[in-house]
Amino acid sequence: MISVNLICVGKIKEKYIKNGIDEFLKRMSLYAKVKIIELKEDGNDSNRKQSLEKESMEIIKTAEKNKGYNVLLDIGGKNLSSEEMSKEIERLTVTGTSTINFIIGGSYGVSEEVRKISQMRLSFSKMTFPHQLMRLILMEQIYRWFSIFNNSKYHK
Q: How confident is the model at residue 131 (pLDDT cuts 50, 70, 90)?
A: confident
DSSP for residue 119:
S
pTM above 0.75, yes or no: yes
What's the pLDDT tens digit per position in 39-76? Answer: 999 877 778 889 999 999 999 999 999 999 999 999 99
Q: Beta partners for 32?
A: 2
CA-atom Rg of the chain in angstroms: 15
What domains, with CATH codes, occur in the chain?
Answer: 2-149 (3.40.1280.10)
Residues in the annotated binding site for S-adenosyl-L-methionine: 73, 105, 124-129
Residues in the annotated binding site: 73, 105, 124-129
What's the pLDDT tens digit per position in 8-34? Answer: 999 999 999 999 999 999 999 999 999
| Cα–Cα distance measured from residue 109 to residue 53, given in angstroms and rounded to the nearest whole number | 9
Pairing of strands 99-104, 2-9: parallel
What's the pLDDT tens digit per position in 27-36? Answer: 999 999 999 9
What is the number of residues in the chain?
Answer: 156
